[in-house]
A and B are shown apart, each in its own frame.
Chain A
Amino acid sequence: MQRSWWKILAVLLLLYTFTAGFLVQVPVIGNLYQTIRNLFFHVPMWFGQMILLLVSMIFSIRYLRSGNLVDDIKAREFARTGIIFGILGLVTGAIWATYTWGEPWSNDPKQIAVAIALLIYLAYFVLRNSMPDIDKRARVSSVYNIFGYFIYVPLIMVLPRLVQSLHPGGEGVEGNPALGGQDLDPAMRMVFWPAVFGWTLLGVWMTTLLIRISKLKEKNWIHA
């Protein structure tokens, strides 16, 4: 295997997350009780997705500048892992919501927005697969990917904050008080940020595996 320090770091950070995440003293807020520990598992999925999709967009920009098909492969695989993180985030969120908001899907603005965001990225793959010409496919889908990211960010970061939301941070949060940015418990913060970093690195590891497989499979095109 390709040895890298960051793979070890990812494993250690996540072992820390799984240990400290269950042991750390958490404040009792609203009706969350112990489910607040989901902060170390559910929320990093979204942070990880944002970072992975950002990297994907950067590689799309790089492809448009360089014309190197490897950059397009990287953009594609980072988007793929990003979608997987998004689906996991959506499912874990639904499980969490069942026991705190009363139902798995309550048409919360953030739920709807991430569902749309996921569809945008699924459409990225539909678009890719609809074009047989390799260079055209890479160019068009790179442009789409860059546009997609700038729709995705307002969808999940801006819009849910402008309206009433069950998620923390929404305007006029009622019913279920939860963690906002500033009042995150310091002890939880000590677990939360390593968790975000660890989950993201794990996503990067999976992505590099996908990229290496793609490079093997498509090496005839890359060098053509």
Chain B
Amino acid sequence: MRKYFLLIILFLSSAFQLMAQPTADPSTMESHGKIYVVMAVCITIFTGIVIYLIRIDSKIASLEKKND
């Protein structure tokens, strides 16, 4: 469980850090017709769904344990 969260958070934080770095081109998020904004939104939604799935999964697992 913790492993999954760590994996996702690691992945995300690295991605956002890359975006947030003040580079020579200050407008990374604003470039290419602001497509990166859409990408960030999609990744955020997807991460939320995955965390939700993991929580459901662990809830079922605890129910299964109780039923054994």
Contact = CB atoms under 8 A, between A and B. Distances in A.
A209 B60 contact: yes
A212 B42 contact: no
B35 interface: yes
A105 interface: no
B24 interface: no
B1 to A, nearest CB: 6
A7 B5 CA distance: 12
A10 to B, nearest CB: 9
A12 B67 CA distance: 32
Interface in A1-41: 1-3, 7-8, 11-12, 14-15, 18-19, 22-23, 34
A184 interface: no
B64 interface: yes
A36 B62 CA distance: 43
Interface in B23-62: 35-36, 38-39, 42-43, 46, 50, 53-54, 56-58, 60-61
Interface residues of B, number: 25
Contacts of A209: 53, 56-57, 60
A19 B11 CA distance: 11
Contacts of A19: 15, 39, 43
Interface residues of A, number: 21
A206 interface: yes
A219 B46 CA distance: 33
Given A11-B50, A18-B42, A206-B53, A1 B67 contact: no
A216 B15 CA distance: 39
A213 interface: yes
Interface of B: 1, 3-4, 7-8, 11, 15, 35-36, 38-39, 42-43, 46, 50, 53-54, 56-58, 60-61, 63-64, 67
Interface of A: 1-3, 7-8, 11-12, 14-15, 18-19, 22-23, 34, 205-206, 209, 212-213, 216, 219
7 contacts: A2-B61, A3-B3, A15-B46, A18-B46, A22-B39, A22-B42, A23-B39
